[in-house]
Amino acid sequence: MRKPADKRIRTVEWVLYNEQVLRVAVEEERERETVDTGKDPTARTAVRHATPIKSLMVEGREILKPEKWLHMLELVHEHIPKGDMKNVLQARYKRREHYRVTCRKLCMSQSKYQNTIRRIREYAQMVAIQEGLIKIVE
């Protein structure tokens, strides 16, 4: 499948593909952060977790508001319609199956698979817009 021309869709798809890498990077950044709250370890932990991470470099790409992107992914996985969209989402972005394998397993044509991917991208993009991660007009 071709790379989408729209930068917003490319960003959303990159986040869908790299969910695990992003989660690990956020956890590592949380562990690395140090906050000066005196000698109180409980306060230090609370402040560290309450302060959002502004940006993070993941695989040579700067991700702004990485925790909001993770929240967006949770919303997508939780609310995406069941059926073909959910199955293709899992196959393509979680298991990284080749489209032919997925088409064979789900008994769908290549064009239906591509239309489903397009709908998944659009759905994820709408959730990202709703969460304030993507601007509609720049």
Q: Per residue of the chain (138 residues), give pLDDT as tens.
A: 566 667 888 899 999 999 999 999 998 888 776 655 566 777 666 666 677 888 888 888 899 999 999 999 999 999 999 999 999 999 999 999 999 999 999 999 999 999 999 999 999 999 999 999 998 886
* Residue 24 forms part of a structural domain: yes
* Residue 1 forms part of a structural domain: no
Domain count, the chain: 1
* Residue 72 forms part of a structural domain: yes
- As a whole number, the mean pLDDT across the chain is 88
Q: Which amino acid is at 20?
A: Q
For 82, the domain range is 7-130
At 72-97, the pLDDT tens digits run: 999 999 999 999 999 999 999 999 99
Reported as type and span, the H/E element at residue 27 is helix 19-32
* Residue 20 forms part of a structural domain: yes
Q: Which residues pair with 58 in a beta bridge?
A: 61
* Residue 2 forms part of a structural domain: no
Q: Are 127 and 75 in contact (CB under 8 A)?
A: yes
Q: Are 99 and 113 in contact (CB under 8 A)?
A: yes
* Residue 135 forms part of a structural domain: no
Q: What is the pLDDT of residue 37?
A: 55
